Structure 1
Amino acid sequence: MPILFFGHGSPMNAITDNAFTQRLAQIGRDLPRPRAILCVSAHWMTEGTFVTGMEKPPTIHDFGGFPRELFEVQYPAPGSPVVAELVEREVAKTSAPAPVVGIDEDEWGLDHGTWSVLRHVFPQAEIPVLQLSLDMTKGPAYHFEMGERLRALREQGVLIVGSGNLVHNLRRIEWDPAAKPYAWALEFDAWTKSMLEDGNFGALTKDYLATEAGRLAVPTPDHYFPALYILGAADAKDRLAFEWEEMQNGSISMRTFSFGLRG
């Protein structure tokens, strides 16, 4: 299976028909049908690593101050306890010491980092969807290595996706989506693009805070870490493709990229 990182941006993208969401729909048409989808969302932060294992994960509206229409959205995709156990086993069987993945049967579900994207990519909500949490007690190397441990799931029909934003500074946000991007936001977004094109995943893992632009673009790591899972899950033979490139609200990069989807 291919792998993807989605820049999800505002929750309003879930109910907006725009060029970005139209592109998401096209990605869905281009993807092979997966057995299941495993999403690493910026919005499930934990101590320890967990995967959702319920049969019917609830749709979580983890935001405030948006129109009622957004709170009424449901994404009733099934879960898969079987795939949750597969995730647990794949992580455990790789080189020691292996992280322990707990199976969450009732605490979480599908947050907007997952459903705001998937309702455009797979609008029928028929494919089982699981979320993997971000262990925020760990540094970037852990998250990259988790992606490496999950790579074998691709051969078993599991679509691995990350959902966040490579540039995500809410303190500097402009509420006009078309606002002029900050220079530092453009600088860091261009750097991430260059490192991706060069295959320099080490720099993306270790050096993202080395400049002032990086520290402004990634004031907290929650929206950046999901991308590291996709880098770790990539194979040397995978072709990189930029599915979408845009800045929104001055300080949000919507950069979306895939490995193994375009040839």
Structure 2
Amino acid sequence: MKKPMPAVFVGHGNPMNALLDNTYTGGWAAIGKDVPLPQAVLSISAHWYIPGTSVTAMHAPRTIHDFGGFPPELYRIQYPAPGDPALADRVRGLLAPMTVHPDEEWGLDHGTWTVLRHMFPGAGIPVVQLSIDERQPAEFHYDVGKRLAPLRDEGVLIVGSGNLVHNLHAYAWGRRAMEPFEWAVRFEDKARELLLAGNDGPLISYETLGQPAALSIPTPDHYLPLLYVIALRRKGEPTCFPVEGVDGGSVSMLAVRIG
């Protein structure tokens, strides 16, 4: 029996990573070379955080430059990966009877294309995005991830894109390199421990993990994509961290690979 496709959570960080050659982007490129060639990618990005569940269903998703104040060359980047309406239908079927709206307007936001540009630079692999319903609790998102598990046997690479620690109020914008805040290190260390132990309960109930979690996750949008990915783990599968580091003191760039 063929091994299931791995699943990956990626800390995408600053949009400028789309242009940079650094430890993080090199790690993303290495992931793209190491995983089996996917039939398609299903991305759950922190930046499609809306009141409802939608899936991109167009043949040619646009590249969305959903940020401001960056150099002009960043806005000129296009990632012209095709869409996959059949995969969108498959996602809707797996999540039924939950209402999942087939979306023809969104496209690929920077949580998706800034990473995939390094993983699969040819942009030849179809990409579909699934939104995060901002109205729902963490347990809901973990459950949705579980229901997507059959896609791993169908050659679909599921990528959650956010950041385990994401506190922009504390971020060192344009300043010299900063050492990670103590609370960021404490929370990342605890999360790693739980991930390696396969103990998902506290990660779902992250609000019970004290002040380091509260400071690391002031809003849930960048954290929730992790729950979709860890919900896909099967018994005995390894967990590893192919990309590591904390940017600007308060944004974890940790990547988590399942399988």
- Alignment TM class, shorter chain as reference: over 0.9
Following TM superposition, by how much is the alpha carbon of 1:218 offset from its aligned partner in structure 2, in angstroms?
0.1
- 1-structure distance, mates of 2:33, 2:209: 38
Quote the residue 1:18 is aligned against.
Answer: 22
- 1-structure distance, mates of 2:137, 2:101: 19
Q: Which deviates the most, 229-238 or 217-226? A: 229-238
- 1-structure distance, mates of 2:124, 2:249: 35
- 2-structure distance, mates of 1:153, 1:207: 27
Quote the residue 2:180 is aligned against.
Answer: 181
Following TM superposition, by how much is the alpha carbon of 1:101 offset from its aligned partner in structure 2, in angstroms?
1.3
Aligned with residue 117 of structure 2, among 112, 116, 119: 119
Quote the residue 2:85 is aligned against.
Answer: 81
Following TM superposition, by how much is the alpha carbon of 1:227 offset from its aligned partner in structure 2, in angstroms?
0.3
Structure 1 segment 16-55 matched on structure 2, within 5 A: 16-55=20-59
Deviations 1:53-76 (A, max 9, x none): 000000000000100011111000
Quote the residue 1:239 is aligned against.
Answer: 238
Amino acid corresponding to residue 163 of structure 1 in structure 2: S
Quote the residue 2:258 is aligned against.
Answer: 259
Quote the residue 1:159 is aligned against.
Answer: 157
- 2-structure distance, mates of 1:190, 1:141: 22
Deviations 1:71-103 (A, max 9, x none): 1110000001111001111112xxxxx422111
Structure 1 segment 103-114 matched on structure 2, within 5 A: 103-105=102-104, 107-114=105-112
2:16–2:74 CA contact under 8 A, matched in 1? yes
The DSSP-based 3-state class of the residue aligned with 2:106 is coil
Quote the residue 1:207 is aligned against.
Answer: 206
2:10–2:160 CA contact under 8 A, matched in 1? yes
| C-alpha RMSD over aligned residues | 1.0
CA, structure 1 residues 222+177, in 2 after alignment: closer, same or farther (shift >3 Å)?
Answer: farther
Quote the residue 1:148 is aligned against.
Answer: 146
Deviations 1:185-210 (A, max 9, x none): 11111111111011111110013453
The DSSP-based 3-state class of the residue aligned with 1:153 is helix
Amino acid corresponding to residue 7 of structure 1 in structure 2: G
- 1-structure distance, mates of 2:193, 2:103: 37
2:24–2:244 CA contact under 8 A, matched in 1? no
Quote the residue 1:95 is aligned against.
Answer: none
1:90–1:153 CA contact under 8 A, matched in 2? no
Q: Which deviates the most, 207-216 or 109-118? A: 207-216
Amino acid corresponding to residue 135 of structure 1 in structure 2: D
Deviations 1:11-60 (A, max 9, x none): 01110011211111111111111111000000001111111000000000
Amino acid corresponding to residue 115 of structure 2 in structure 1: V
Q: Please, what TM-score do these two structures have when normalized by structure 1?
A: 0.94
1:51–1:104 CA contact under 8 A, matched in 2? yes
Quote the residue 2:170 is aligned against.
Answer: 172
Following TM superposition, by how much is the alpha carbon of 1:3 offset from its aligned partner in structure 2, in angstroms?
0.3
Quote the residue 2:134 is aligned against.
Answer: 136
Amino acid corresponding to residue 144 of structure 2 in structure 1: M
- 2-structure distance, mates of 1:10, 1:84: 28
Quote the residue 2:75 is aligned against.
Answer: 71
Return 5+ residue gaps in structure 1 as ranges.
93-97
Q: Please, what TM-score do these two structures have when normalized by structure 2?
A: 0.96
The DSSP-based 3-state class of the residue aligned with 2:67 is coil
Deviations 1:125-160 (A, max 9, x none): 000000000000001000000000000111111111
Deviations 1:227-250 (A, max 9, x none): 000011111132111111101001
Amino acid corresponding to residue 117 of structure 2 in structure 1: R
Return 5+ residue gaps in structure 2 as ranges.
none
Structure 1 segment 222-233 matched on structure 2, within 5 A: 222-233=221-232
